């Protein structure tokens, strides 16, 4: 899952980004509204976590622009303004959810995952294909009841492939969805992650290589 965190308080941004990455999300950070819009225009994010009081371009204007230009991108407003009027105002701008600071971190994670499931076609809470099951919320995957003990990136790759439901997913798309903007696109990190994922999945083979197209389950 690819998430954009637009937050101008660096300590808050660092703490939230670290926590979300521990949950297996690929997180990019924008310190102001201008950078948030720039990054959202060049990268397809599942969810934008948007502080309402951003410098340069106000969070309200960022929300309006995203709602107009990218209606499928889900926006979660994260702000200190918490009155009912503030909530109504934020949602009326086009935000899909609204969470007031201070917040309970597990609730933030749950809300992000819930919004991501609403993108495009509805996705089940637990992904299943054959004898493989993946629970994105619990960050667990099993095969025939056996815990696969996958790393966060292996879980992310498996989740992206299972969501594709048999369609091929390119290495470039996997890099964009599972890794953040700091990933080197010229490394073989996707191939190596798929290699270790296959080893942990065991036989019979679950992830196939599609020549010239990528990988599929």
Q: Tens of pLDDT along 95-124?
A: 899 898 888 999 999 999 989 887 655 567
Q: Tens of pLDDT along 59-94?
A: 999 999 999 998 889 999 988 766 667 777 767 888
- CA atoms of 32 and 86, how far apart (whole Å): 21
Mean pLDDT of the chain: 89
pTM metric for this prediction: 0.73
Burial zone of 204 (CB within 10 Å; 0-12 exposed, 13-18 middle, 19+ buried)? exposed
Quote the domain boundaries for residue 143. Answer: 127-216
Mean pLDDT for the stretch of residues 8-19: 93
Residue 121's pLDDT is what?
53
User: Taking 90 as the threshold, does the pLDDT of residue 131 lie above it?
Assistant: yes
User: Taking 80 as the threshold, does the pLDDT of residue 144 lie above it?
Assistant: yes
Q: Are residues 167 and 87 in the same domain?
A: no
- End-of-domain residue from the set 94, 117, 140: 117
Query: Which DSSP category does 169 fall into?
Result: B
- End-of-domain residue from the set 117, 147, 181: 117
Residue with tokens 């003990």: 149
- End-of-domain residue from the set 117, 146, 181: 117
Mean pLDDT for the stretch of residues 22-42: 93
Q: Are residues 27 and 101 in the same domain?
A: yes
Q: Quote the tokens at residue 59.
A: 């969070």
Question: What are phi and psi for residue 100, nearest 5 degrees?
Answer: -85, 145
- CA atoms of 174 and 167, how far apart (whole Å): 13
Q: Quote the tokens at residue 88.
A: 């109504």
Mean pLDDT for the stretch of residues 203-216: 93
Q: Are residues 99 and 153 in the same domain?
A: no
The bridge status of strand 146-147 relative to strand 140-143 is antiparallel
**High-pLDDT (> 70) share of the chain, %:** 94
């Amino acid at each position: 899952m690819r998430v954009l965190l637009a937050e101008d308080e660096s300590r808050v941004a660092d703490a939230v980004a670290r926590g979300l990455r521990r949950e297996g999300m690929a997180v990019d950070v924008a310190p102001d509204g201008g950078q948030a819009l720039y990054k959202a225009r060049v990268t397809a994010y599942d969810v934008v976590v948007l502080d309402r009081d951003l410098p340069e371009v106000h969070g309200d204007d960022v929300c309006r622009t995203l709602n107009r230009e990218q209606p499928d991108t889900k926006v979660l407003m994260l702000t200190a303004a918490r009155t009912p009027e503030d909530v109504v105002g934020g949602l009326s701008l086009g935000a899909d959810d609204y969470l007031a600071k201070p917040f309970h971190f597990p609730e933030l994670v749950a809300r992000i995952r819930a919004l991501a499931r609403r993108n495009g076609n509805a996705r089940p809470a637990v992904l299943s294909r054959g004898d493989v099951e993946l629970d994105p919320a619990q960050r667990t995957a099993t095969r025939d009841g056996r815990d696969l003990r996958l790393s966060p990136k292996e879980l992310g790759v498996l989740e992206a492939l299972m969501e594709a439901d048999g369609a091929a997913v390119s290495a470039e798309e996997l890099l964009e969805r599972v890794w953040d903007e700091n990933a080197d696109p010229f490394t073989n990190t996707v191939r190596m992650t798929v290699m270790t994922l296959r080893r942990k999945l065991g036989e019979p083979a679950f992830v196939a290589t599609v020549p010239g197209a990528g990988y599929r389950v």
